Copies of this chain bind each other. A is one copy, B any other.
C-alpha cells in the first residue's frame, strides 16, 4: 500500500467497486459476520490462557457533558414485598448512537446515495417500527465471538494519542501488524486503540465530536484510507475508541463508517481501550477471545454493549 492520500476516485472505489454486496447472497443481513464460523469461535476460545477478562466499555453515559448531549436515563423505583421486604428496580433509556456510549452499529445504521447494505433503499427499509433490513437482531442469535487483535497506535508511535493533525492511515495499520508480527485472518475483529482518553485529558474543553449538529464535527481518528485495510483482511468487526477522522476531506457522507453499508463490516464505537491495551502489554499478547452480545432488539440499528476481551 502506497503511503499517500488516496485520490477521490480511489475513495469512491473503496466504497462502491470493492463492496461486498451479494457476496453472501442478496438478502444477507449478517455481512462480514458470516466470516465468523463455528471453527473461528473454537479458535477464539483456544486463545484463553490466563483467564483474565477485561471490559471494553465506558460507563453507561448518564451524566451530561460536552461529549454527551443526550444523556442516558437511569431512574430508580422501589417496591415493597410482604411480609417484610422489598426490591429495587430501574429504568434504562438511551439514544445510544453518537460519541458517548459504547455500542455496536448494525448494518442498517448508515448509507450513502447508492443505498444501505446489499443495496437496499433506506426510504423503504427504515420505518417507524424499526429497520426492516440489516438490523441488529441478526447478530444477536449467535452473538459475536471471535478473535480480537489489538492494533495499538499510540504504543506504535510512542505518543500518548492520535491527533487531528496525524490521522491513522491504512498503511500504518499494516505497519503495526508487521512490527508486531500479526497475521490477520478472515473474521478477525480488529481493536484499534487511538488513545482517546489521553486525547481528551489533553483537550478537556473540546468535545470529541458533534454527531448531532452543533457545529463542525472536527475530530481525530481513522482516515478513510483504512477502508481497504478492512476489506483486504476480511475483518468482521472494527472496535475503536476514536472514530473516523473528520471531516473526511472527500465529498462523501461517510468515511470509515462506510464499511457498514459497503463491506458489511460491523463497528463497535466508543470502546474504552486503555484497560485492554494495558492488559495486552502485561499479558504480552496482541490477541484474545472477544465476545460482544448485542441485545435482540427487532429492527434495532445497533445495541449498547459491554465487549469482553478474555486472555
Residues of A in contact with B (beta carbons under 8 Å apart)? 37-42, 45-46, 48-55, 57-60, 62, 64-65, 69-71, 73-79, 81-98, 108-113, 122, 126-131, 137, 140-143, 145, 212, 214, 251-254, 289, 291-308, 310
Contact = CB atoms under 8 A, between A and B. Distances in A.
A211 to B, nearest CB: 9
Can you list the 5 inter-chain pairs with the closest CB atoms, starting with the nearest?
A: A85-B253, A38-B51, A75-B75, A93-B93, A45-B48
A296 B102 CA distance: 10
Contacts of A76: 75, 126-131, 299, 301
Given A60-B300, A295-B304, A308-B145, A90 B95 contact: yes
A291 B291 contact: yes
Nearest to A145: B53
A131 B77 CA distance: 10
A301 B86 CA distance: 13
Contact of A297 (B85, B92, B254): B92
A272 to B, nearest CB: 9
A85 B115 CA distance: 8
Contacts of A54: 141-142
A88 B45 contact: no
Contact of A253 (B59, B78, B84): B84
A38 B50 contact: yes
A45 B91 CA distance: 33
Interface centre among A293, A301, A304 (most CB of B within 10 A): A293
Contacts of A295: 57, 60, 92, 304-306
26 contacts: A37-B51, A41-B48, A41-B52, A54-B141, A55-B140, A55-B141, A59-B298, A60-B296, A73-B93, A74-B297, A76-B129, A76-B131, A76-B301, A77-B129, A78-B126, A79-B212, A81-B253, A85-B252, A86-B111, A90-B97, A93-B94, A142-B308, A143-B291, A145-B308, A295-B304, A296-B306
A130 B60 contact: no
A101 B289 CA distance: 27
Given A51-B39, A307-B293, A91 B113 contact: no
Contacts of A71: 69-70
Given A41-B51, A54-B142, A295-B57, A214 B64 contact: yes
B89 A92 contact: no
Nearest to A106: B88
